[in-house]
Chains A and B, each alone.
Chain A
Amino acid sequence: MTIDFSVVFPFWHILLKGLGLTIAITLTCAVLGSLAGFVISLLRNVRNPLIRLPISLYVEFFRGTPLLIQLFWVFFCFPVVFGLTLSPYVSVMLALILYMAAITSETFRGALKSIASEQHDACTALGLTPRVKVLFVIFPQALLRATPPLLSNVVSLFKESALISSVGIADLMFIGQNISNSTARPVEFLTAVAVIYFLVAFPLTRLVGVVESRMLRRYAY
């Protein structure tokens, strides 16, 4: 059996299209998921158990079940439960957003907790109102500290997005598998797809490290 990577080249623009869809979906769900995650992390600090407990349950559930089942559930059960027909793209994005929101809410929670308690004391000593304190002291610092892990979450989402191929969305993974099946050359094509994912994820991961050391050192300590 011969391995010949030149068979990949005629297909490079199709693979690129798949990558484009993957990136588009990743970015959309990352942004919406992070916003939702931020709101959720705030809600988890609310005193009223009627709000706090369901939210906590939601977060634990989405962190404690496979993304695949979440995807399938939204894709197949949502229309049944809510009587709406969603386009396949909306379905998978909804699942990814719900997942991302749960993950990022934990990230924000960690960031909020990492702000030293003495900062709260300083705010009280200066007579800052709760509104001023949250808006000008807590929120900016939480955002700063949450940024590196948040970027990590986005890179994770990029990788997890490959799951949407299982419900037929034409992302990079789906296209790669498709071509490898039709040409019966899984080694070349699957490896090529792996390399493409790697070439996107690896630099971003390194970037997270740089952001962490440069930015945090200047503004967070």
Chain B
Amino acid sequence: MNYQFDFHFLTGSFGALWDGLKVTLELALVSNLIGLVLGFGLCLMTLSRWFFIRWPAQLFIEFFRCTPALLQIVWFFYCVPMLFNVFIDPVAMGFLALGLNLAAFNSEAYRAGVQAVPREHLDASIALGLRSWQRTFYVVLPQALRSALPVLMTNGIGSLQQSALVAIVAVSDLMYVGKSLATEAYRPLETYTLIALIYFALSLPIAQLVQYIERRQEAAATR
């Protein structure tokens, strides 16, 4: 391999990289917020007794889960301004697209958590005389959230990875900055390697945390 590694040019670009990283982190955090809250709401809707609430929610979820995230982002960026005659800041569009996508996946995670609560617990709480909302709040929810947690966190990491897609629509996140740098300086190897390592460094601690939580839950369950 005849290649002269040269990381020097990167030192001058730290400012740009840092700005890109900030945008990426913003995207990840806000989309996770939207995804967690909205996902929960969607889950409640899918579990509702009323067809007219359940059905649109289900459709929304299926659509976001069965189409590529890239397509969703591109659609948002090109179609929303056209359809609604509004101009939204690109980063905010990114929040929306990534947030809605994450909400769909998270709602499934919440739902699995709720369905994993053993039937016996519901029966026991009825036998104890708890009212409907008390059952949900004190018995179902805590357990559902506990089992859904690892999946929600994994989805969150997935959202961090997907935030890189906004680079395709020229939002100045870490990926976009990296791409520009690589093309300007003709040094894809150093740049892309560095970018990959940064994403990895961000995801790895959370992934390890998820594994730790899963191990602890497993151990508690087998007792």
Contact = CB atoms under 8 A, between A and B. Distances in A.
- Does more than half of chain B's interface fall in helix, strand or loop, or is it mixed? helix
A34 interface: no
B124 interface: no
B52 interface: no
Nearest to A198: B66
A80 interface: yes
A82 B193 CA distance: 15
Given A69-B199, A162-B68, A187 B193 contact: no
B207 A173 contact: no
Interface string B58-76: 0000110111111110110
B179 to A, nearest CB: 7
Nearest to A200: B66
Contacts, number: 130
A153 interface: no
A70 B204 CA distance: 16
Nearest to A177: B74
Interface stretch (B15-23, B31-39, B138-146, B156-164): B156-164
Contacts of A198: 62-63, 66-67
Contacts of B50: none
Interface residues of A, number: 43
A80 B66 contact: no
Nearest to A181: B78
A106 to B, nearest CB: 11
A77 B75 contact: no
13 contacts: A1-B82, A63-B207, A65-B196, A66-B161, A155-B66, A159-B67, A159-B68, A162-B70, A176-B71, A186-B79, A190-B78, A202-B66, A205-B66
Given A66-B161, A159-B68, 17 more contacts: A63-B207, A66-B164, A68-B167, A69-B195, A73-B188, A73-B196, A76-B192, A77-B193, A80-B3, A81-B189, A83-B2, A155-B66, A163-B68, A190-B71, A190-B79, A194-B67, A194-B75
